[in-house]
Amino acid sequence: MTQMMECDERLNAIQDKIVKAAKLAQREAEDVRLMAISKTRSADEIRPLLDTGHRLYGENRVQEAATKWPALREEFSDVAVHLVGQLQSNKAEEAVQLFDAIHSLDRPSLVKALAKAMDKLNRRIPCFVQVNIGEESQKGGCAIDDVSGLLESARSAGIEVVGLMCVPPTGIHPAPYFALLAKLAKDNGLPELSMGMSGDFESAIKLGATYVRVGTALFGPRA
């Protein structure tokens, strides 16, 4: 019960910040979805937040998610779990089975693998193209100049691309990167923006985020 109360307090605090940021941007708070990033969290750590009624979660790895979410879905059948981490092409079929959306489509080979998996399983799930918005060699993501081409390939393969995702460089104010992602999405007719994490989600909301990905601020420090 104490864990649930602590989760509820943290959830309410984040939701209050979302409301305030949306108001400053003259947006509706309901247009921003809060994704609880549950990577490295055990089922026992996730359950108190589920008990509060929160139903949208994000995971970084297929294998880790597979150890937790099938059992949790038996208890909470209305939960949605999105993949926000890099996806290897050989894990595409497992990802299509397990997740409700994928935020890390970033290369033609993954387009082919996901399309093949969706056809085989007869299951279509929405995807976001991840953009390497800071042009960082150590990060995944599609190059900015390649976004339109990758979108065309995905659509031709029957994949529904609903938006763009990014992880801005650390140690630099993220607002210009969020603004650039928003412009790329608008130029390509995409309605969704997956951007903003625990330390910068308010800035992301002011610049158009429709999904914010929050972990530590919801679950507390990792052990």
90-105 tens-digit pLDDT = 999 999 999 999 999 9
Checking if the pLDDT of 222 tops 80, the result is no
Checking if the pLDDT of 1 tops 70, the result is no
Of 98, 97, 130, nearest to 111 by C-alpha is 130
Give residue for tokens 């990758």.
Answer: 150
What residue type is assigned to position 198 of the chain? S
Query: Up-side HSE of residue 74: CA atoms within 13 Å toward CB?
Result: 4
Q: DSSP string of 134-151?
A: T--TTS-SB-GGGHHHHH
47-84 tens-digit pLDDT = 999 999 999 999 999 999 999 999 999 999 999 999 99
Confirm if 163 and 188 have CB atoms less than 8 A apart: no
Q: Which residues pair with 34 in a beta bridge?
A: 212
